[in-house]
C-alpha cells in the first residue's frame, strides 16, 4: 500500500459508469499514474443529465470511451434497503433495465482501491430536473411552491419528507458500506439570485416554509408582496422598460420597503445549511471516522448574491473539508452569461461589459489581468482566479478545515468554445496549492478528462511539492 502520509490529498470526481466501462483496475491505475490520485469520489446516486447529454467532443482518450446517448444510465449505483426509508414518502425507484443495474459500485471498488492505497468516498449531487420523477417515487410531493402558488422543479429543504429521505439515503449507504467519507452538493442559489439571473419566480412558500417563517416572526404576506414586486421589476427591466430612477435604485427602494425579502432569503439559506448539518451528523452517527465535506457550487465565484450567502466560516462547524468549485476554463463562458443576465435585470443600467468590470472589482478579480467580456468564452479565467477563491476559502475557514480545491478542466459546452491545455491546468493546480489548499478534488468528471491534462495535474503536484507548497498528508 502506498504511504499516503507522504502525499497531498488528491481526489478525483468519478462517474460510477466509468469504473465499470473501463474496469476498476484500469481506472485506478490510470488515475494514480497520471494525476497521483489517492482518493476517488464516486456517485452512490446520480441525478444529473450531463452524463447523458455530453457532446461528442466530451468523449476522451482513455479506456473504452463509451458514449452515453444511446444507453440508459441508472440513478442509483448501490442497493436500496426499505427499512431505512420508513420516515419518508420518498423511495428510490426500481433500477432494473438500466446499465449495470445489478452491480454495487462500492463493493467492486473496495479491494482494488485498498490494495493501491486509494480512499473511496461516496458522492451525491442534488437533482433538480423533471426526469427525477422517474428516479424517485413521489418526487413531486416535495417540490418548492413559488410566490404565485405554482410547483417548481427543485425540492424544498424545509419539507420533512425530503429531509428524512436525505438522511435515510446516507444512512443506507454508510450502514451497508465502509467508506472514507462523503461529498454532497446542491447547485442552486437563493430566490433573489434566481430572479436576477433567470427571471425565475421566487420560492419556496410551501406550508412548511410559511410555518417556519411565522415562528421566526416574519410576515408571510409582506414577504410575498415584496418578492412579487422585485420579480415584476426584473421582468419589466428584461422587457426594456427601464424605471425612471434606474433598475438598481428601484431594487434598493423595494428592499427597503420590504425588509421581509431579505429575512425570507436568509430563511432559505438556513434551510440549506441545516440540511447539510443534519446529513453530517447522520453520517457521523453511523461511521464516526467518515470525513464529510461539501461541493460548493461554481456560482460562489461569480454571483455576489450567492457568495454573500455561502459563508465558508459558518461551514467550518459541520465540515471535515470543503471543496470550492474553481473551474477556471469554463468560468469564462459562465461569467459572460451572468453578465448578460444581470444586464437584463437589476443591473440593466449597465452594459454587459460594464457589469463584467463591476463584478470583477467587487469580487476581487483584476479586470486588467482577466479576459475582456468578449473574450471570456474563448479565454476563460486565469490561474489567478483559482488562487483568489482558494485563498478566500482558506482564510475564511481559518485553518480549521482543509480546503480541497475543485480545479476543473475539459468541461464541454455547446460548441466547446474553450479547450483546456496542460499548461493552463498545471498553472491552476500550482496556484491552488500556492493559495493554501490542503489538496485537490480534480473535477468535473473523469470521463471528460484527457490524459495529457491528468498528467499536467501530476506534474504540477510534483512542482508544488518541490517548492515546499504541499504539507505532508495534505489534510487527510
Residue 54 binned pLDDT confidence (cut-offs 50, 70, 90): low
Residue 424 lies in a domain: yes
Instruction: Provide mean pLDDT across the span 445-464.
Output: 95
Predicted confidence (pLDDT) at residue 170 exceeds the cutoff of 70: yes
Q: What is the pLDDT of residue 1?
A: 31
Predicted confidence (pLDDT) at residue 458 exceeds the cutoff of 60: yes
- Which of 112, 107, 115, 119 is CA-nearest to residue 27? 112
Global pTM?
Answer: 0.94
Residue 455 lies in a domain: yes
Which pLDDT tens digit goes with each residue over 4-23? 445 799 999 999 988 998 99
β partners of residue 145 = 151
Which pLDDT tens digit goes with each residue over 420-445? 999 999 999 999 999 999 999 999 99
Predicted confidence (pLDDT) at residue 254 exceeds the cutoff of 50: yes
Residue 417 binned pLDDT confidence (cut-offs 50, 70, 90): confident
Tell me how far apart the alpha carbons of residues 193 and 128 are, in angstroms, rounded to a whole number. Answer: 16
Which pLDDT tens digit goes with each residue over 104-152? 999 999 999 999 999 999 999 997 766 677 889 999 999 999 999 999 9
> When comparing pLDDT for 266 and 66, which is higher?
266
User: What's the number of domains the chain is made of?
Assistant: 1
Q: What is the pLDDT of residue 71?
A: 77
Tell me how far apart the alpha carbons of residues 338 and 332 are, in angstroms, rounded to a whole number. Answer: 10
Q: Which domain holds residue 75?
A: 4-188+262-337+381-466
Residue 215 lies in a domain: no
**Burial of 256 per CB tally in 10 Å (0-12, 13-18, 19+):** exposed
Predicted confidence (pLDDT) at residue 199 exceeds the cutoff of 90: yes
Residue 476 lies in a domain: no
pLDDT > 70 in the chain, percent: 92
Tell me how far apart the alpha carbons of residues 420 and 58 are, in angstroms, rounded to a whole number. Answer: 12
Q: What is the pLDDT of residue 439?
A: 97
Residue 69 lies in a domain: yes
Per DSSP bridges, beta strands 91-92 and 136-137 are antiparallel
Residue 353 lies in a domain: no
> Is the N-terminal amide bond of 431 cis, ω within 30° of 0?
no
Per DSSP bridges, beta strands 119-125 and 151-155 are unpaired
Predicted confidence (pLDDT) at residue 67 exceeds the cutoff of 70: no
Residue 244 lies in a domain: no
Grid cell 498545471 is found at 426
Residue 110 lies in a domain: yes
**Which CATH number characterizes residue 31's domain?**
3.20.20.80
Q: What is the pLDDT of residue 51?
A: 58
> Is the N-terminal amide bond of 111 cis, ω within 30° of 0?
no
Which pLDDT tens digit goes with each residue over 371-383? 999 999 999 999 9
Tell me how far apart the alpha carbons of residues 44 and 16 are, in angstroms, rounded to a whole number. Answer: 8
Q: What is the pLDDT of residue 49?
A: 57
Amino acid at each position: 500500500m502506498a504511504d499516503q502520509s507522504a502525499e497531498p490529498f488528491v481526489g478525483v470526481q468519478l462517474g460510477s459508469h466509468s469504473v465499470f466501462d473501463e474496469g476498476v483496475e484500469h481506472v485506478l491505475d490510470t488515475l494514480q499514474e497520471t494525476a497521483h490520485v489517492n482518493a476517488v469520489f464516486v456517485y452512490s446516486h446520480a441525478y444529473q443529465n450531463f452524463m447523458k447529454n455530453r457532446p461528442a467532443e466530451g468523449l476522451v482518450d482513455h479506456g473504452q470511451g463509451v458514449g452515453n446517448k444511446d444507453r440508459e444510465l441508472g440513478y442509483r449505483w448501490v442497493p436500496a434497503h426499505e427499512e431505512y426509508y420508513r420516515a419518508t414518502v420518498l423511495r428510490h425507484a426500481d433500477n432494473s433495465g438500466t446499465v449495470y443495474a445489478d452491480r454495487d459500485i462500492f463493493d467492486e471498488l473496495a479491494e482494488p482501491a485498498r490494495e493501491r492505497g486509494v480512499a473511496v468516498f461516496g458522492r451525491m449531487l442534488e437533482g433538480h430536473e423533471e426526469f427525477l420523477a422517474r428516479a424517485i417515487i413521489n418526487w413531486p410531493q416535495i417540490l418548492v411552491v413559488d410566490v404565485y402558488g405554482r410547483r417548481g422543479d427543485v425540492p424544498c429543504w424545509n419539507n420533512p419528507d425530503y429531509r428524512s429521505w436525505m438522511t435515510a439515503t446516507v444512512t443506507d449507504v454508510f450502514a451497508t458500506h465502509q467508506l472514507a467519507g462523503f461529498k454532497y452538493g446542491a447547485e442552486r442559489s437563493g430566490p433573489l439570485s434566481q430572479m436576477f439571473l433567470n427571471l425565475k419566480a421566487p420560492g419556496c412558500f410551501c406550508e412548511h416554509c410559511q410555518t417556519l417563517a411565522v415562528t421566526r416572526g416574519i410576515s408571510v404576506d409582506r414577504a410575498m408582496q415584496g418578492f412579487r414586486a422585485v420579480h415584476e421589476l426584473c421582468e419589466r427591466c428584461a422587457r426594456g422598460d427601464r424605471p425612471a430612477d434606474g433598475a438598481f435604485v428601484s431594487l434598493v427602494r423595494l428592499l427597503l420597503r420590504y425588509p421581509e425579502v431579505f429575512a425570507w432569503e436568509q430563511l432559505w439559506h438556513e434551510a440549506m445549511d441545516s440540511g447539510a448539518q443534519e446529513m453530517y451528523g447522520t453520517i457521523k452517527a453511523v461511521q464516526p471516522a467518515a470525513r464529510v465535506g461539501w461541493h460548493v457550487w461554481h456560482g460562489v465565484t461569480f454571483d455576489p448574491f450567492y457568495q454573500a450567502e455561502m459563508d465558508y466560516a459558518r461551514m467550518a462547524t459541520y465540515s471535515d473539508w470543503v471543496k470550492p468549485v474553481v473551474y477556471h476554463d469554463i468560468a469564462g463562458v459562465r461569467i459572460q452569461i451572468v453578465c448578460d443576465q444581470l444586464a437584463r435585470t437589476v443591473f440593466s443600467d449597465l452594459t454587459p461589459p460594464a457589469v463584467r468590470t463591476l463584478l470583477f472589482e467587487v469580487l476581487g478579480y483584476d479586470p486588467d489581468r482577466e479576459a475582456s467580456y468578449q473574450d471570456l468564452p474563448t479565454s476563460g479565467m486565469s490561474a489567478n482566479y483559482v488562487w483568489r477563491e482558494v485563498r478566500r476559502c482558506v482564510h475564511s475557514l481559518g485553518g480549521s478545515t482543509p480546503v480541497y480545491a475543485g480545479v476543473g478542466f475539459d468541461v464541454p459546452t455547446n460548441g466547446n468554445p474553450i479547450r483546456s491545455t496542460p499548461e493552463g491546468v498545471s498553472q491552476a493546480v500550482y496556484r491552488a496549492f500556492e493559495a493554501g489548499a490542503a489538496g485537490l478534488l480534480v473535477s468535473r468528471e473523469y470521463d471528460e478528462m484527457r490524459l495529457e491534462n491528468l498528467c499536467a495535474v501530476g506534474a504540477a503536484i510534483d512542482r508544488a511539492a518541490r517548492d515546499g507548497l504541499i504539507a505532508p498528508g495534505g489534510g487527510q
